[in-house]
């Protein structure tokens, strides 16, 4: 199963929250609004700042703001800031330490699949994450 880490999930939630409102956001305000601990939000904001996705604003009303427009920030960048380069298998990335690399018959295929997934995530911009999408509720499991 392919699944994002909790940090990548929270990072996308924090960035989406910040994109909805362009003011300076404190870690405590974000934590309260999203129901995530202040320590976790602070950690994520520092990781995002290291990748130049948010910038720190000093002063009494300081905090963080987006470094670029939401239409210029991809979901791939956020995931990369949280988890490192996107790689669905050990051998999908450029730097690999797999002992089977020399004899693996599927490495090229996995690298191609990884490029497709990465390309799709690069196309989804933070601005698109602001717009709510309808949730699908499966009625077959509900009883009258």
Q: Please write the tens of the pLDDT for every residue from 81-93.
A: 999 988 888 777 6
pTM: 0.84
| Nearest 10 degrees: Cα torsion 127, 120, 85, 1 | 110
Model confidence at 107, pLDDT cuts 50, 70, 90, reads confident
The residue assigned the tokens 């077959």 is 140
Element (H, E) at 108: helix 107-123
Q: What is the pLDDT of residues 13-23, one digit of tens each?
A: 999 999 998 89
- Contact between 62 and 24 under an 8 Å Cβ cutoff? The reply is yes
Let me know: does 57 contact 64? Beta carbons within 8 Å: yes
């Amino acid at each position: 199963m392919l699944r994002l880490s909790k940090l990548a999930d929270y990072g996308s939630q924090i960035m989406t929250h910040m994109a909805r409102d362009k003011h300076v956001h404190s870690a405590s305000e974000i934590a309260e609004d999203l129901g995530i601990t202040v320590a976790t939000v602070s950690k994520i904001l520092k990781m995002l700042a290291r990748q130049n996705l948010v910038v720190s604003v000093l002063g009494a009303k300081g905090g963080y703001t987006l470094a670029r427009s939401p239409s210029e920030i991809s979901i791939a960048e956020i995931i990369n800031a949280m988890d490192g380069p996107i790689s669905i298998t050990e051998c999908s990335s450029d730097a690999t330490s797999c002992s089977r690399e020399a004899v693996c018959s599927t490495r090229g295929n996995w690298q191609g699949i990884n490029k497709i997934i990465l390309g799709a995530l690069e196309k989804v911009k933070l601005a698109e994450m602001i717009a709510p999408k309808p949730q699908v509720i499966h009625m077959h499991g509900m009883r009258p």
